[in-house]
Amino acid sequence: MNTSEEEHILILPRNVNKKHVAVILNPGGTVPAELYMEPMERWQVEAENKGLSMWVAVLQYWGDLPLPMALERKILYAMEKMKESGMGDIAPVFLSGHSMGGGFLSDAAAKLYGEGKVQGQILQAAYITSKFFPPMAKSFTFPVPTLTVGADLNFGSARITRMAIAAYRQRALSKDDFPVVMVQGMNHMQFASGFKKEDLKPELDEATAQLKVAQVSIDFIAKQMKIGRGSLVKSEVSKANKVFAPIWAAFELEGDAHFNVPNQMSAPNSNCIRGVCPGGSEWAKISQAHILGDEVMAKTSVLNNYADLNPFAFGEREGRKPFITEQKQVQTYVMSSNKVDDFEGDRNVPVASNELLSKYLSRQEGSLKLLGKELDATNNRDFCVELNQMAFDKAMELASPLARSRFAKDGQAMVFEPTEFKSAGPLFIFSEMKYKEKNGKMSLKSYGLFTPPGDRAIDGNLYCKQLTPARALEWIYVDGLKKKNFKIW
């Protein structure tokens, strides 16, 4: 039996004689509440199979916009109406939210959890945001047990790379209380029924996708209520971590701020003394080694640091140009194109940095200073293109067999134009790598700077705007599928 209120749609359980529980769902932005009735009725069936009588309320908003200022009041009102309809006073309440509705849920959930009014939450195509984790917080501060459910063919903010971040930063937390799972073959809009909005082509039908979400969500609820073991959630977490592993590897190779190098200019609360951060990029080291070549690398090793490469930043800073140390090591610098507000907003796409701004030693300088061999001083080899092709090849190597198969079938190929070399550092820094479709392919035009060997700090440099393995992987998994597979399905 269903009843409708101005504030919510109430879906009553078919059988009220089992252990009582409630779920209150905050809908996605512009998604009518009634489109969640069918998926939530699937939850009720799964709940009954677990010995639960589940009351469900789907919150309603004017204009179908789940604005946070009304959220807590609507949740409390739904609880009241559930009890009036026969739900027991001590029935545990779980919150859920889809997309924008999940993104706005956390503050209200934390408050109501602290008051003992809710027991947990399930985020559907949403995630616990960055503000609850270092470096934005001193430590993880979110108290509410949370199941995060993603869909691997979601094109929006909750795409697979964003879910990989969620799993990465929650990996040390309790697997019972903060699991992250993925539904393979599902897209963003299948969490509701019949909502017409563009997304990647799903590989599951709507009923099957929603059933998988229902099963794992009820398994989580039962575990939190101590009437189940949570074995399905544990199994799905293990599967999801295997899906995430190549994504984690690509982002760690870059040293992304969301992953293993959080102290850099693209993250909040950075501490980079005199503009140089303590951590660096392994991919930058690999790139510099490729530029120098095996003969030079036999005589040296590469150091790399993230740094503030903005030429017009104020305050005392190191030179931040590549050089050879007294120990005959090559010191290099990089900076991510992502910004602090990208990190704090936690919803921009693509998730990976659009480019890596890299300052390297040229092969000519390395050969002259480390081998005493003078090479042709002209810029006669396009190393920036080579590095970008290397990044794409590495991403394809890391990608899962499923992702490679999808991309081979429906992906838009990526090609690299000759690099446009600038005459000065600021011109290089402020020239953003261009993505432009040409002849059906995505063409990338990079920018660089080359200076012949010499005794000045600026001499013997090779700067490149680089595609990273993480950005290339995100293209293979998500953005490269758009041209053929992004529409209303």
Q: Is the pLDDT of residue 405 over 50?
A: yes
pTM: 0.95
Torsion, Cα of 346, 352, 354, 357 (10° steps): 110
What does the pLDDT average to over 424-442?
96
Q: Is the pLDDT of residue 257 over 80?
A: yes
What spatial distance separates the first Cα and last Cα of the chain, rounded to whole Å?
Answer: 30
Give the span between the Cα atoms of 59 and 346, in whole angstroms. Answer: 25
Q: Is the pLDDT of residue 333 over 50?
A: yes
User: In terms of C-beta density within 10 A (0-12 exposed, 13-18 middle, 19 or more buried), how is residue 410 classed?
Assistant: middle
Across the strands, what pairs with 450?
462
Mean pLDDT of the chain: 96
Q: What DSSP string runs through 182-249?
A: EETT--GGGGSSS----EEPPSS-HHHHHHHHHHHHHHHHHHHTTSS--HHHHHHHHHHHHHHHHHHH
What does the pLDDT average to over 82-105?
97
Any alpha helices (H) in 228-339, and if so which ranges?
231-254, 282-292, 294-297
Give the span between the Cα atoms of 441 and 425, in whole angstroms. Answer: 30
Question: Where does the pLDDT of residue 1 fall: very low under 50, low under 70, confident under 90, or very high at 90 and above?
Answer: very low
- Residue 159's closest CA among 99, 239, 248? 99
Q: Is the pLDDT of residue 5 over 70?
A: no
Q: Is the pLDDT of residue 302 over 90?
A: yes
CA angle 59, 63, 64 (to 5 degrees): 35
| Domains of the chain listed by start with CATH number | 2-251 (3.40.50.1820), 255-487 (no CATH)
- Strands 356-361 and 434-438 turn out to be unpaired
| pLDDT score for 70 | 94
Q: What is the 3-state secondary structure (H, E, C) of 364-403?
A: HHHHHHHHCCCCCCCCCCCHHHHHHHHHHHHHHHHCCHHH
| pLDDT score for 6 | 79
Worst-scoring range by mean pLDDT, 135-149, 248-262, 303-317?
303-317
| pLDDT score for 4 | 57
Residues 6+ apart with CB under 8 A from 226: none
Question: Of all residues in the chain, what percent are helix, strand and coil, respectively (each to 5)?
Answer: 40, 20, 40
Question: What's the pLDDT tens digit per position in 182-222?
Answer: 999 999 999 999 998 999 999 999 999 999 999 999 999 99
| pLDDT score for 2 | 59
Kindly state the percentage of the chain with pLDDT values over 90.
Answer: 94
CB atoms within 10 A of CB 260: 16
Between the CA of residue 285 and those of 3, 305, 329, 394, what are the distances in Å?
A: 62, 10, 11, 14
Q: Is the pLDDT of residue 131 over 80?
A: yes
Structure tokens, 478: 């998500």
User: In terms of C-beta density within 10 A (0-12 exposed, 13-18 middle, 19 or more buried), how is residue 220 classed?
Assistant: buried
CB 190 within 8 A of CB 202: yes
Across the strands, what pairs with 361?
461
Residues 6+ apart with CB under 8 A from 325: 303, 331
Residues 6+ apart with CB under 8 A from 166: 127, 128, 148, 150, 180
Phi then psi dihedrals of residue 302, to 5 deg: -115, 135
Question: What's the pLDDT tens digit per position in 352-393?
Answer: 999 999 999 999 999 999 999 999 989 999 999 999 999 999
| pLDDT score for 3 | 57
Question: What's the pLDDT tens digit per position in 13-67?
Answer: 999 999 999 999 999 999 999 999 999 999 999 999 999 999 999 999 999 999 8
Give the span between the Cα atoms of 180 and 160, in whole angstroms. Answer: 11
